[in-house]
């Protein structure tokens, strides 16, 4: 979730009150925020905002606004739907519909841009587009200096060679195609436009390009600089509701700073959920009703009527109350309400969680461990009794450790998107984990007797190419010593099987990880349940281990019918 | 005097006799010579030296310190893969466009490796940082002091090939220079090579020792018995025999014992605590469908935590077939439009095929989702301790996989206040914290949501867990009609403090000596009922 850098003085000015650090820490829970760092000057603050569904809180204006609302101070509204004169128009043309269909915009007059405000605008733009806008896929934002623009603007899609402009951060004019190939933002976000032969373009009435959404703006027409007075805010995206939400949010931010918001009319090629002509800011709020019974049932406490209404207003809603029901209309910059429980959280947060008295659940339930865990604990006790040291290793491993070094190629679950080859495969068996420990423990005094009991991901190959994964519980034991003998380790297996009450036998077998003639399959009944053998010197050499090793590995699922008590354990135990 | 020699002779341990036998022919010998002559291993030999020195039979005539070098864990990794400098150069030669911040992700390097390697490449003029922070080759190859036989990679290879630490004096001059460079400049920034010092000693007989050695052969023939045998007991021949006296205050030889892994012990105690509070354990698979891991939990398919850079996807597995189609449909329409209840849903087009896609379980809540849909008990309390996987660079705070402790409570009488009560109970029982704080939190599947912060005696204020009431959009499609608490605890930091660890990877350490001696962490979870001062 976003971490933003803001100035404490500015926050105080916007909130209309002094905010010393200790007071700030008490206020941040109102925006699910956490103070991460305070600059040496006591002014610069790094704040992490934890609600991915409340982007309106991800900026100084939003935090200050929530503080004002909580304090009962007024917040300026956006221009209403009625009686406003629309001076400016943006036309959306049909070619852009299949690529990035929606655009929203409004004008903020007297924004009075200075460097510090510009930094904040850019920070908000980046956090919103990256995190809320899914790395610009769903939403992206542009700001423009208003004065040089000639309306109406046109948002359409063109051939990548059809337009040329100098993008921000460069000093040469480039074709749209070249911008996608060469500009850092083109390389970073160009993939969003693949799959279409045309690319989006925003131009003014004189045909001058303003930007290539969602990649980069032109620096020739409309680059915002300190000293500019009036700006155009533009948002493009794939969902009209979210585009409108962001226009409202950005408009509200500048309105909070004293700018005058003026509407822009967007004319679509065909009708949208909000009509063919949409005047923005467009209020997308839908009211929601919550009943007293619901509030009481969730919070476990009966609040006074006035208290519920007050808390909802502090959360920014317009509220109408009628006999145990409250209808809340959220402000136009909030798009998070899905269910009345969201209003109930608003109420609880505005009142403060500390004002609810914790209460212990009164109902009695019986606790217990799963059969798998009980089996794990049982074999762990047996292995400790046999003198083995328990090891616990990671499940994510490498092809090299699990297969190449072992001289074997068991089927494995591989990752589609590994971050590094070292952690790219789920272990299908435990033995390589024990060898990894041995390879790192040459300096520890011998003998080494170790075991691991843990989960592996086995691959089940069904008919055709259908591969499935199953989580299995395994137990593996290893002895590494100058005179490591098959018989010694066999004795430990023998004892374990005796304890488990499992009738087993060893059947000579061939396995590339073990010395021929010193390896066998462990069978319980007719079922193969694991391996025992002396590790092949070629395997040890690949692990750079210079000590003879003997090991066995057992599938604990095969042990379960024998070890399980007759009473069927309670509770769910789902293994897929 | 002669009396004490008698006693000394009488009490000699067989190891001491073996060592002293060498001094019949030699007045003095180096420890490695003694090892060779006696055939004793290092630990036995050092026990014998210890005893003989304390009895003033031997003295140290001379000692000298030799330096040995070996690879660290990181160094061993570089020996099998390539060093970061080589990896960067290879990637650049392959035409990959690299920005400095890309290096971590693209090449699997950590921050320190990146800064050291880039610094090194710049210093040797191999690479430079071009426009826009792009790393580019300068046309000069990696110099021989980095990649040659006599360079850094050569040294790493040499050390990797040796099973035991390599004597520093056997290294070539070039290698010694590299070593010095490491130890002086980069010792702290990039631990590839470890330097150990070993002291060799030359032992000589004291006057007492010379006397003892002279009498040694005669004495061993004197019919003294060192071991009582079953035969002696059967035939009574032990009677009248003299038994060699032992120095019972000497340090015994070390043995390896069976031992529970300390982290497992910690988790076991957490488990026991939860069971004592009435929680039933749940388990679930490592490889999970997106459905159980996220969709069933009302995490929208566009949620940032579902990105290719947040979750690991399994390659080539068949789509999940353990999802009831009717449930999948209910979940789908709930995401899209709220599912007919009071909810609006997320208002997007839900991809039903994606729900069946297989990933590595990224949160333990997946197991709770399965339990909710599988006919849970009401009232019921459940917990699980599950291995989870996240797309994170592995470093001191991120292990490749890790444990999550989490669960659910179903009960018609549950409210947000009972949820707070449960969290308070956890704080007291699991962290022994009497100061706690509840802060608003956000999880896509709960509303209201809360974070539990506790004041830990060593760590100060820390987040112990998160919780909330499952949203109706989670429970309704599964046919659950009572309120459900979902909770999760982060206990790793507490476990690490209790074990004295600073690196989360050490919870899964592969060094046996470390595991044999690691302090068990049970102190972190005291019951308070036993022991003074609790």
Q: Which residues does A181 contact at the CB level (< 8 Å), separation at least 6?
A: A187, A190
Q: Which residues does A25 contact at the CB level (< 8 Å), separation at least 6?
A: A35
B360 or B141: which leads in pLDDT: B360
Residue that the structure tokens 């009609």 belong to: B481
Cβ within 8 Å, pair A344-B276: no
> According to the model, what pLDDT value does residue B1 have?
46
Q: How far is A112 from chain B (nearest CA, A)?
A: 30
- Number of C-beta neighbours around residue A25 at 10 A: 12
With CA atoms as reference, the chain A residue closest to B259 would be A389
d(CA A247, CA A102): 12
d(CA A355, CA A363): 24
pLDDT category of residue B190 using cuts at 50, 70 and 90: low
Which of A31, A391, A392 is the best mutation test for B, with the most CBs of B within 10 A? A392
d(CA A497, CA A505): 10
d(CA A102, CA A284): 15
Residue that the structure tokens 């066995």 belong to: A552
Which of A389, A417, A471 faces B512 most closely, judged by CB atoms? A389
Q: What's the mean pLDDT in A353-362? A: 92
Q: What's the mean pLDDT in A506-528? A: 95
DSSP A354: G
Cβ within 8 Å, pair B312-A131: no
> According to the model, what pLDDT value does residue B328 have?
97
H/E run at residue A234:
strand A231-237
Q: What's the mean pLDDT in B268-280? A: 95
Residue that the structure tokens 């403060």 belong to: A352
DSSP B484: E
Cβ within 8 Å, pair A369-B315: no
d(CA B244, CA B247): 10
- Phi and psi (nearest 5°) for B284? -160, 170
Q: What's the mean pLDDT in B68-86? A: 81
A371 or B116: which leads in pLDDT: A371
**Least confidently predicted of A144-148, A516-520, B254-258:** B254-258
What are the structure tokens assigned to B244, written together?
Answer: 């060699």
d(CA A567, CA B302): 45
Cβ within 8 Å, pair A390-B105: no
Asked if A230 and A243 count as a contact pair (C-beta separation under 8 A), the reply is: no
Q: pLDDT at residue A570 above 50? A: no
DSSP B432: -
Which of B281, B303, B513 faces A369 most closely, judged by CB atoms? B281
B266, B70, B253: which is closest to B168 by C-alpha? B70
User: Half-sphere exposure of B459 toward its Cβ, with a 13 Å CA cutoff?
Assistant: 22
**Chain B residues with CB-CB distance to A445 below 8 A:** 43, 254, 256, 513
The predicted-structure confidence for A187-206, as pLDDT tens digits, reads as follows 999 999 988 999 999 999 99
Which of A167, A300, A448 is the best mutation test for B, with the most CBs of B within 10 A? A300
The predicted-structure confidence for A11-41, as pLDDT tens digits, reads as follows 999 999 999 999 999 999 999 999 999 999 9
**Fold entry, domain B70-197:** Arc Repressor Mutant, subunit A (1.10.10)
**Chain B residues with CB-CB distance to A411 below 8 A:** none
**Fold entry, domain A371-563:** BirA Bifunctional Protein; domain 2 (3.30.930)
Which of A169, A244, A274, A359 is the best mutation test for B, with the most CBs of B within 10 A? A359
Q: How far is B243 from chain A (nearest CA, A)?
A: 31
Spans of all domains in chain B:
2-57+206-235, 70-197, 263-285+361-524
Considering chain B, what percentage of its residues have pLDDT values greater than 90? 39
B15 in helix, strand or coil? helix
Q: Which residues does B419 contact at the CB level (< 8 Å), separation at least 6?
A: B450, B467, B468, B469, B485, B487
Q: pLDDT at residue B526 above 70? A: no
Q: What's the mean pLDDT in A352-379? A: 94
The overall average pLDDT reported for chain B is 85
With CA atoms as reference, the chain A residue closest to B78 would be A422
Q: pLDDT at residue A259 above 80? A: yes
Spans of all domains in chain A:
3-71, 88-280, 288-354, 371-563
Q: pLDDT at residue A272 above 90? A: yes
> According to the model, what pLDDT value does residue A113 have?
92
B318 or B494: which leads in pLDDT: B318
Considering chain A, what percentage of its residues have pLDDT values greater than 70? 96
What are the structure tokens assigned to B403, written together?
Answer: 């444990």
Q: pLDDT at residue B185 above 80? A: no
DSSP sequence for B201-245:
EEEEE-HHHHHHHHHHHHHHTS--BS---HHHHHH-TTTTPPBPP
Asked if B424 and A358 count as a contact pair (C-beta separation under 8 A), the reply is: yes
Give the CA angle between residues A247, A245, A165 to the nearest 5°: 40
* H runs (alpha helix) in A56-193: 60-71, 115-127, 176-182, 184-189
> According to the model, what pLDDT value does residue B402 have?
92
Which of B283, B312, B413 faces A575 most closely, judged by CB atoms? B283
Cβ within 8 Å, pair A574-B367: yes
d(CA A65, CA A365): 46
DSSP sequence for B274-287:
HHHTTPEE----SE
The predicted-structure confidence for B366-388, as pLDDT tens digits, reads as follows 999 999 999 999 999 999 999 99
Cβ within 8 Å, pair B422-A389: no
The predicted-structure confidence for A543-565, as pLDDT tens digits, reads as follows 999 999 999 999 999 987 544 44
What are the structure tokens assigned to B338, written together?
Answer: 């709220």
Q: pLDDT at residue A136 above 80? A: yes
Cβ within 8 Å, pair A389-B510: no
A530 or B81: which leads in pLDDT: A530
Tell me, rounded to whole angstroms, the distance of Cα A529 from its chain centroid: 40
What are the structure tokens assigned to B49, written together?
Answer: 């030296």
DSSP A55: G
Strand order in the sheet with B193-205: B28-30, B193-205, B58-71, B166-167
Number of A to B CB contacts under 8 A, please give it: 328
Cβ within 8 Å, pair A413-B287: yes
**Least confidently predicted of A11-25, B300-314, B438-452, B468-482:** B300-314
Asked if A65 and A75 count as a contact pair (C-beta separation under 8 A), the reply is: yes
Cα four-point dihedral sign A280, A281, A283, A285: positive
CATH class of segment(s) A88-280: alpha beta
Cβ within 8 Å, pair B282-A574: yes
Residue that the structure tokens 């090892």 belong to: B35
Asked if B444 and B521 count as a contact pair (C-beta separation under 8 A), the reply is: no
Cβ within 8 Å, pair A369-B275: yes
B134 or A267: which leads in pLDDT: A267
The predicted-structure confidence for B214-267, as pLDDT tens digits, reads as follows 877 644 445 677 788 899 999 998 888 888 777 777 778 788 899 999 999 999
Radius of gyration of chain A measured on its C-alpha atoms: 33
Q: In CATH terms, is domain B263-285+361-524 a member of 1.10.230.10? A: no
pLDDT category of residue B40 using cuts at 50, 70 and 90: confident
Cα→Cα distances B379→A165, A301, B71, B482, Å: 66, 21, 56, 9
Which of B345, B421, B441 faces A361 most closely, judged by CB atoms? B421
> According to the model, what pLDDT value does residue B188 have?
45
**Chain B residues with CB-CB distance to A422 below 8 A:** 77, 81, 108, 394
> According to the model, what pLDDT value does residue B217 have?
61
Asked if B125 and B136 count as a contact pair (C-beta separation under 8 A), the reply is: no
What are the structure tokens assigned to B418, written together?
Answer: 């009972």
Cβ within 8 Å, pair A445-B348: no
Is it true that A88-280 and A288-354 share their CATH fold?
A: no
d(CA B500, CA B494): 10
> According to the model, what pLDDT value does residue B532 have?
34
Cβ within 8 Å, pair B417-A468: no
**Chain A residues with CB-CB distance to B114 below 8 A:** none
pLDDT category of residue B533 using cuts at 50, 70 and 90: very low
Q: How far is A370 from chain B (nearest CA, A)?
A: 5
**Least confidently predicted of A335-349, A494-508, B66-80, B320-334:** B66-80
The predicted-structure confidence for A112-135, as pLDDT tens digits, reads as follows 999 999 999 999 999 999 999 999
The overall average pLDDT reported for chain A is 93
The predicted-structure confidence for B134-143, as pLDDT tens digits, reads as follows 888 887 778 7
> According to the model, what pLDDT value does residue B376 have?
96
CATH of A288-354, one of 3.40.50.1010, 3.30.56.10, 3.10.20.340, 1.10.40.30: 3.30.56.10
d(CA A30, CA B126): 52
**Upstream peptide bond of A281 is cis (omega within 30 degrees of 0):** yes
B28, B26, B45: which is closest to B36 by C-alpha? B45
d(CA B314, CA A71): 50
Cβ within 8 Å, pair B425-A420: no
With CA atoms as reference, the chain B residue closest to A448 would be B256
d(CA B362, CA B466): 16
Cβ within 8 Å, pair B511-A444: yes
With CA atoms as reference, the chain B residue closest to A289 would be B342
Which of A335, A420, A431 is the best mutation test for B, with the most CBs of B within 10 A? A420
Which of B130, B257, B281 is the best mutation test for A, with the most CBs of A within 10 A? B281
- Helix (H) and strand (E) counts for chain B? 22, 16
Residue that the structure tokens 């002091």 belong to: B145
Polymer length of chain B: 534
Which of B322, B387, B448 faces A576 most closely, judged by CB atoms? B322
Q: How far is A299 from chain B (nearest CA, A)?
A: 5
**Upstream peptide bond of B379 is cis (omega within 30 degrees of 0):** yes
- Strand partners for A236: A103, A140
CATH tag, A3-71? 3.30.56.10
């Amino acid at each position: 979730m976003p971490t933003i850098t803001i100035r404490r003085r500015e926050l105080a000015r916007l909130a209309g009150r002094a905010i010393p650090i200790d007071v700030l820490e008490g206020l941040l829970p109102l925006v699910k925020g956490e103070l991460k760092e305070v600059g040496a000057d006591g002014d610069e603050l790094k704040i992490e905002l934890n609600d991915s569904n409340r982007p309106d809180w991800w900026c100084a204006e939003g935090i200050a606004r929530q503080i004002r609302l909580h304090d009962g101070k007024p917040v300026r509204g956006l221009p209403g739907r009625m009686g406003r004169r629309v001076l400016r128009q943006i036309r959306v043309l049909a070619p852009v519909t299949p690529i990035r269909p929606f655009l929203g915009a409004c004008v903020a007059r007297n924004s009075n841009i200075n460097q510090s405000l510009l930094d904040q605008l850019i920070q908000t733009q980046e956090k919103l587009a990256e995190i809320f806008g899914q790395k610009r896929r769903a939403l992206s934002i542009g700001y423009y200096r208003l004065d040089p623009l000639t309306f109406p603007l046109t948002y359409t899609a063109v051939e990548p060679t059809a337009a040329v402009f100098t993008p921000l951060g460069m000093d040469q004019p480039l074709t749209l195609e070249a911008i996608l190939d060469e500009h850092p933002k083109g390389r970073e976000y160009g993939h969003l436009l693949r799959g279409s032969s045309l690319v989006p373009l925003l131009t003014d009435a004189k045909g001058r390009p303003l930007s290539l959404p969602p990649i980069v703006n032109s620096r020739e027409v409309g680059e915002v600089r300190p000293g500019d007075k009036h700006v155009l805010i533009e948002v493009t995206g794939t969902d009209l509701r979210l585009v409108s939400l962001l226009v409202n949010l950005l408009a509200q931010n500048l309105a909070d700073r004293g700018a005058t918001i003026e509407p822009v009319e967007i004319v679509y090629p065909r009708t949208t959920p909000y009509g063919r002509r949409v005047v923005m800011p467009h209020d997308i709020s839908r009211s929601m009703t919550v009943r007293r019974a619901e509030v009481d049932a969730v919070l476990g406490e009966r609040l006074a009527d006035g208290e519920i209404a007050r808390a909802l207003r502090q959360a920014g809603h317009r509220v109408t109350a009628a006999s145990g029901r409250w209808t809340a209309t959220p402000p136009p910059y909030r798009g998070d309400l899905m269910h009345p429980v969201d209003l109930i959280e608003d109420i609880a947060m505005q009142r403060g969680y500390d004002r609810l008295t914790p209460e212990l659940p009164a109902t009695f339930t019986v606790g217990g461990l799963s059969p798998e865990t009980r089996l794990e604990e049982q074999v762990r006790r047996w292995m400790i009794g046999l003198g083995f040291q328990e090891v616990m290793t990671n499940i994510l491993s490498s092809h090299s450790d699990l297969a190449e070094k072992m001289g074997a190629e068991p089927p494995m679950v591989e990752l589609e998107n590994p971050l590094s080859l070292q952690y790219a495969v789920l272990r299908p068996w435990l033995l390589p984990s024990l060898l990894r420990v041995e390879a790192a423990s040459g300096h520890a005094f011998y003998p080494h007797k170790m075991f691991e009991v843990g989960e592996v991901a086995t691959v089940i190959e069904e008919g055709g190419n259908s591969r499935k994964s199953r989580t299995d519980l395994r137990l593996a034991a290893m002895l590494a010593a100058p005179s490591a003998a098959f018989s010694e380790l066999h004795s430990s297996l023998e004892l374990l099987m005796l304890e488990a009450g499992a009738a087993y036998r060893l059947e000579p077998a061939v396995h590339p990880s073990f010395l021929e003639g010193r390896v066998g399959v462990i069978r319980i009944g007719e079922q193969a349940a694991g391996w025992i053998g002396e590790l092949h010197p070629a395997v040890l050499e690949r692990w750079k281990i210079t000590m003879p090793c003997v090991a066995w590995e057992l599938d604990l699922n095969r042990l379960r019918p024998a070890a399980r008590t007759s009473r069927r354990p309670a509770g769910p135990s789902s293994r897929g | 005097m002669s009396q004490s020699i008698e006693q000394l002779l009488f009490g000699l341990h067989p190891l001491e006799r073996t060592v002293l036998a060498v001094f019949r022919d030699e007045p003095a010998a180096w420890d490695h010579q003694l090892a060779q002559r006696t055939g004793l291993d290092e630990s036995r030999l050092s026990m014998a030296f210890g005893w003989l020195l304390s009895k003033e039979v031997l003295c140290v005539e001379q000692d000298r310190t030799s330096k040995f070098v070996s690879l660290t864990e990181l160094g061993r990794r570089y020996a099998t893969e390539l060093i970061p400098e080589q990896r960067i150069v290879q990637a650049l030669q392959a035409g990959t466009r690299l920005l400095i911040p890309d290096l971590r992700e693209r090449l699997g390097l950590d921050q320190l490796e990146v800064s050291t390697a880039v610094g090194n490449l710049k210093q040797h003029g191999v690479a430079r940082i071009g426009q826009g922070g792009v790393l580019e080759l300068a046309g000069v190859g990696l110099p021989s002091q980095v990649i040659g036989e006599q360079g850094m990679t050569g040294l790493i290879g040499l050390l990797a090939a040796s099973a035991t630490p390599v004597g520093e004096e056997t290294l070539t001059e070039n290698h010694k220079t590299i070593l010095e460079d490491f130890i002086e400049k980069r010792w702290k920034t990039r631990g590839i090579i470890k330097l150990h010092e070993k002291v060799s000693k030359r032992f000589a007989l004291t006057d007492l020792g010379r006397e003892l050695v002279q009498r040694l052969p005669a004495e061993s023939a004197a019919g003294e018995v060192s071991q009582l045998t079953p035969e002696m007991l059967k035939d009574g021949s032990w009677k009248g025999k003299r038994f060699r006296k032992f120095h019972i205050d000497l340090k015994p030889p070390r043995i390896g014992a069976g031992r529970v892994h300390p982290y497992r012990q910690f988790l076991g105690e957490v488990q026991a605590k939860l069971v004592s509070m009435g929680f039933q354990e749940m388990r679930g698979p490592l490889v999970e469908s997106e459905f159980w891991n996220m969709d069933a939990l009302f995490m929208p398919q566009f949620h940032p935590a579902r990105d290719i850079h947040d979750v690991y996807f399994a390659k080539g597995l068949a789509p999940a077939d353990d999802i009831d189609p009717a449930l999948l449909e209910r979940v789908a329409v709930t995401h899209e439009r709220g599912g007919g209840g009071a909810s609006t849903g997320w208002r997007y087009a839900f991809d039903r095929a994606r729900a069946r896609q297989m990933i590595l379980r990224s949160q333990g809540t997946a197991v709770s989702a399965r339990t909710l849909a599988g006919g849970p008990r009401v009232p019921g309390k459940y917990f699980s301790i599950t291995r989870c996987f996240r797309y994170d660079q592995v470093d001191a705070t991120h292990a490749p996989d890790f444990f999550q402790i989490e669960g659910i409570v179903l009960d018609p009488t549950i409210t947000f206040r009972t949820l707070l009560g449960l969290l308070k109970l956890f704080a007291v029982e699991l962290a022994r914290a009497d100061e706690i704080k509840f802060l608003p939190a956000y999880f896509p599947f709960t509303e209201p949501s809360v974070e539990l912060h506790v004041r830990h005696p060593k760590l100060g204020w820390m987040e112990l867990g998160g919780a909330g009431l499952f949203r109706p959009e989670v429970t309704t499609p599964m046919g659950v009609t009572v309120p459900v608490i979902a909770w999760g605890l982060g206990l790793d930091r507490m476990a690490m403090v209790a074990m004295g660890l600073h690196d989360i990877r050490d919870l899964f350490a592969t060094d046996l000596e470390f595991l044999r001696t690691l302090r068990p962490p049970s102190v972190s979870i005291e019951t308070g009922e036993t022991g003074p001062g609790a």
